Amino acid sequence: MLSAASAAVVRATLPVVRDHAAEITAEFYPSMFAAHPELLNLFNRGNQASGKQQIALAAAVVAYAQHLLDGTPFGPIAERIAHKHVSLGVRPDQYPIVGRHLIGAVATVLGDAVTPEVAAAWDEVYWLFAVTLIAAEAGLYQQAGVSPGTVWRPWRVAKRDEEAVDTASFTLLPDDGGPVPVFQPGQYVSVAVDLPDGHRQPRQYSLSQAPGRGELRITVRRVRGADGAPDGAVSNFLHDNVHADDVVLVGPPAGEVTLQPGDRPVVLISAGIGITPMLSMLGQISAAEPARTVVAVHAETSPDRHAHRAEYARLAGFGQLTWYGKGGDGGQPGLVDVNAIPLPPNAIAYLCGPITFMRDVRAGLLNRGMHTDDIRYEVFGPGMLDN
């Protein structure tokens, strides 16, 4: 709980911090990386360059301050961050580094407005934020049976398959003689590669088949730069350099958006490479809950980009609906029509795809009467889906 004195200061200064949050985090990251370049190995340089990481951090800190003041729910944000941190091996001793540079950035951006009382109040906010995450991450590390120093393990590529245009899957087996970890359908793993420039970069990739097969499979779409954005460093490295018998570093399964077991009907709605967690969920339902009602909806720009198309059709059965933006090959042309999706009573929906796609689909499902708690979504990248 935020102290009364700090609560008064934070309440008074929250509007100005919110208005300058993006500037603060834009100042924070270069300062921290200059002092601690080793931390670059934890961060997606593409998201740094685009500003997405800065925006996500700013939104999270502001949301947590609002939570401390009025109880605005913060649990889903904390859970998402904790899972991401565990997948990367974030350590408790790294939080003081972040806190020092973050509060320093606040002082740099806001200048004389940051009195000692203001700095102390926001330092208290940060440390409550940090303690919340450290506790959540400790529980997740314990569940996974790993520590921050042991998350990365070598995995050998048993098989590589070209699944569609610009999309390949990699089937992985432990190269250290250790066990294949248990995971939940919908979860992801971090994969770290050493790039030609000498930097190590991690990325998260959904596990694209059901658990219990004695292996892990990820499916990676090559990210081609557009509108001035660079190509995806890790996806292109994997496509160009990683083949059968090569070894990559893989972290423990993580992720909070997982298939809820039971008998409730399931509606899976994906676009593009967002099909990957849906394949894991479909595989689990097919193996363990074959009587469960499933409606599977997928959207792609064209049939040749539809990854795992035959596998998806086999698992989804007759409950499958497909839209291809350019039409053709049995898919409905154009964008997904939410009103055309059958919604069984008491269904739970899972969404995965581009942010704009999920925002539109979620709005359509809410308009059709689904409760917000029954719509779950996986965002590829930092941040959360706006409500």
Catalytic status, residue 137: yes
Are 123 and 103 contacting, i.e. CB atoms less than 8 angstroms apart?
yes
Residue type, 9: V
Nearest CA-CA partner of 205 in 274, 257, 267: 274
- Rounded CA-CA distance 306/321 in Å is 13
Catalytic hit among 27, 124, 137, 300: 137
SS3 at position 201 = strand
CA dist., res. 360 & res. 299, Å (int) = 13
Beta strands in the chain (DSSP E): 153-164, 167-174, 188-194, 200-206, 216-221, 247-250, 266-271, 294-300, 320-324, 332-333, 348-352, 375-378
Residue 174: beta bridge partners?
155
25 burial via Cβ count (<10 Å: 0-12, 13-18, 19+): buried
What six digits make up the tokens of 141? 């590390």
Give the other-Cβ count within 10 Å of 162's Cβ.
11
Tally Cβ neighbours within 10 Å of residue 225.
Answer: 11
Give residue 232's identity as a one-letter amino acid code: G
CA nearest 215: which of 285, 154, 279, 155?
155
Residue showing tokens 């999920």? 358
- φ, ψ at 256 (rounded to 5°): -95, -15
Is the distance from CB of 42 to CB of 48 less than 8 angstroms?
Answer: no
Which of 29, 64, 95, 377 is labelled catalytic? Answer: 95
If DSSP codes are grouped into helix, strand and coil, which group holds residue 4?
helix
State the DSSP string of 80-131: HHHHHHHHHT--GGGHHHHHHHHHHHHHHHHGGG--HHHHHHHHHHHHHHHH
Q: Clarify whether 350 is annotated catalytic.
A: no
Q: Are 243 and 160 a contacting pair, CB within 8 Å?
A: yes
Give the catalytic positions in this structure: 95, 137
